[in-house]
Amino acid sequence: MTTMAERVSEELTRQMSKVSQSVFDGSRLRVVLLVDVYDGAQQQFLKAYEKLCNQVASVPGHVSDQLCQSIENPSQWLISSEWESAPPFLDWVNSEEHVEMVKPLHGCVRDTRSLRFHVVRETGVGVERSPQRRLQNSPRIGDGLIRHALTFTVRPGSEEKVEKILADYRSPEPRVDDSTRLCRTSLFMHGNRVVRAIEVRGDLLAALRHVARQPEVRAVEEAINPYLEQDRDLNDQESARIFFTRAALPAVHHVTTDGMAWGERCALYYPAVPGRGMRLAELLAQYDEMVAEDPTSPVLRSTIFQRDDVVVRLLDLREESGLQPVVPPSAHAAELKSLLDGEAARMSLVTDRRSNA
């Protein structure tokens, strides 16, 4: 029989091992974009930015932005923007409107790097202190992993061929450099939709570039090109850039209750009513936070990915635990169902590869 002291110890251990990361806490968002401009293209870049700035000013949730140029290297620029919270920024940055809006920048920019931060503390004269200017109450505790996904669709009727191509390849070298490695890659399909979820320790961008350069990965990407609904040319930088921009499926919520255990991995697909994907993801996040407080729950980890009307819930379950209902029986179940544009479903697992390197 478990003693009271043992139960208390188990509960403390569970709480200490819990990791929760979310875009739904309501706090302000600071976005930093590091830009490397081609030599001699500074004026062209400034003109494109000013046009973009005027367009962004009318986007709901946008507060302000700054454009800065390095005092040491005129080719290095920094764009810093503030948003009321993360969801309106993500809605905008993942939209077709944004894809079209930033096209004028591509001709004068060599490289970019986007960083997103919730505001935890701020000081200074004139800083507002109002209920609308929310800050995080405490810093989050992470597990050192960055989670990201890509999604795209293939032509109906080609699903079986595509699945075989995607399943039949050699995993790339997990070590990227001294500080970055690819930890896990899971690939799922449902109908003609493909979802590839990755976990990286270190630099996500460096890991993505590393994987894209591997001959075995490049061969697979070229093999599925004829079956894609959205055409792409991986030898054309602009074509590849637009494809992967549209394919990006960011993680908007993650909760871990046992960081050490490996479980059965599955993915659930939720097609959202147009314009309601973020709200659907938020309801699923609220449910997963509640489940994480239950020590008897079969869920070890949950990550919710969302872009536009595509919502994917990636779960790690305790072995032989069985899968809970696809649409969870939460207090918001009725609203959640009303946000679905079709049936939610379990996706088919194509590959799940992890590395201990």
Same domain, 187 and 319: yes
Same domain, 65 and 181: no
Same domain, 148 and 260: yes
Instruction: Report the C-alpha gap between 170 and 220 in whole angstroms.
Output: 10
Q: What SS3 class is residue 356?
A: coil
138, part of any domain: no
Can you tell me the mean pLDDT for 185-202?
Answer: 95
Go through the chain and tell me how many residues it has: 357
Q: What is the CATH number of the domain that holds 88?
A: 3.30.70.100
Instruction: Report the C-alpha gap between 208 and 48 in whole angstroms.
Output: 27
Same domain, 197 and 310: yes
Chosen domain end from 118, 152, 180: 118
151 and 188 Cβ atoms separated by less than 8 Å? no
What was the pLDDT predicted at 13? 43
What's the predicted TM-score (pTM) here?
A: 0.88
> Is the pLDDT at 216 greater than 60, yes or no?
yes
129, part of any domain: no
Lowest mean pLDDT: which of 29-33, 241-245, 305-309? 241-245
What was the pLDDT predicted at 83? 95
303, part of any domain: yes
Lowest mean pLDDT: which of 10-24, 57-71, 184-198, 200-214? 10-24
Beta strands in the chain (DSSP E): 19-22, 29-37, 62-69, 76-83, 109-118, 145-153, 181-190, 193-201, 248-256, 264-271, 299-307, 310-317, 345-346, 348-354
Q: What Cα–Cα distance (Å) separates residue 250 from each residue in 85, 120, 244, 303, 310? A: 16, 22, 12, 10, 11
Q: State which residues form the domain around 37.
A: 29-118
Can you tell me the mean pLDDT for 70-74?
Answer: 94
Give the chain's domain count.
2
Same domain, 215 and 350: yes
What was the pLDDT predicted at 126? 57
What was the pLDDT predicted at 10? 44
Can you say whether the dihedral through the CA atoms of 153, 286, 118, 98 is positive or negative? positive
Same domain, 100 and 171: no
Lowest mean pLDDT: which of 112-121, 148-157, 165-174, 197-206? 165-174
Amino acid at 165: I
Same domain, 160 and 72: no
Same domain, 45 and 182: no
